[in-house]
Chain A
């Protein structure tokens, strides 16, 4: 007989909520890059508006965690899971804010002609969203090894960020008229780099759930 069915049922619900909000945030990041590529201001505004739903979902998860602590008094790994989920929810919500950051840049850019075709920035976005989904997989599976591996993939993001920086620097050096547009793309890349760092924080929490140890893994160079 499974013990503490109420606790485990509610914990499963919270985990489903985490996956749902993770998926919303992943989509927001990818859509923000779509908006950037297509100069789609309508989509950018939609991303900003949708962020309210993400924030709401985050508070909902927090409330459920608090209620579970108050009513079920979880201990040991059960306690670590709840505490880790509280942290992870915050990290996910912040990633959503980076999508909003990019959407705001899109609105700033307006209908200016593109500086160059976008290659590395979309790759950064795809990689970040992949990492996010895998980190949440590792959370559900309580897989510390997978979490550590995902965190090391942040190096790839840092590498792409370097590449974007060098390329944009070349544009700016050759033609100062590109400085404004290039800087905006730098900001975009910076938002993505930060988002990926948040994913490594999620991975650290997964390791904490499994091992009980708080450790920094794959410290980003930025």
Chain B
């Protein structure tokens, strides 16, 4: 297992949406096979930063990026990089479970199919559902609509859908905010298991969740002009017991935000 090596490295990253600067001078390294949590008050740019990791911001009109995001040493914003290729290798799971209105099977098979994988599709789907800890719950209803699953199951299905593409990194944007506590804990357990094979970056509003689940934590906040900056980034155990920056301390002890 690669552990202390850098998977993603952000260097002096700046992001604008039109004239509005959303991120300013962000530099941080994300280690392989670790869960990195990004926390901070609403509007601080956490999700914007997360979307920079797989060029999702490219899809927003007027979005511009300066600086670099190195993925295994290569800048994903370089001219010759295909953003679709990046998104295969760096998958994403969103806040609200968003299964396609298709069967459980087709949801997971969708990505591989689009990529022209048609052999052993059943095996690929089963494997992804196993890794998303959903197989036992859906193995008898693979061809029923995914919309019939519970919220927590739908979210694990979305994780399975991302896993079916064999990504190296999984980005999670508030993956549990629409789930009840039990479904949340299941996703958290799943994340810990997945971290053995994948690098995970999670954006969460829930500080307790960040503390429970992550190895590394990054704290962001907005400056006067509302641009998001990275205040502090370090091991979770340190950030939540003895943060270095007064602003981190004030935020995580609930003195503002």
Contacts and interface: CB of A to CB of B under 8 A. Distances in A.
Interface of A: 3-4, 7, 73-80, 212
Contacts of A77: 249, 253
A214 to B, nearest CB: 11
Contacts of A212: 241-242
Given A3-B254, A75-B253, 12 more contacts: A4-B253, A4-B254, A4-B255, A75-B240, A75-B252, A75-B254, A76-B240, A76-B242, A78-B253, A79-B240, A79-B241, A80-B241
Nearest to B254: A4
A78 B248 CA distance: 13
Nearest to B243: A76
Interface of B: 207-208, 211, 240-243, 248-249, 252-256
A76 B211 CA distance: 11
B249 A76 contact: yes
A75 B207 contact: yes
Contacts of B252: 75-76
B242 A80 contact: yes
Nearest to B255: A3
Contacts of B255: 3-4
Contacts of B207: 75
B234 to A, nearest CB: 13
B206 to A, nearest CB: 11
B246 to A, nearest CB: 10
Contacts of B240: 75-76, 79
Contacts of A3: 254-256
A149 B9 CA distance: 45
A75 B211 CA distance: 10
Most buried by B among A3, A75, A80: A75
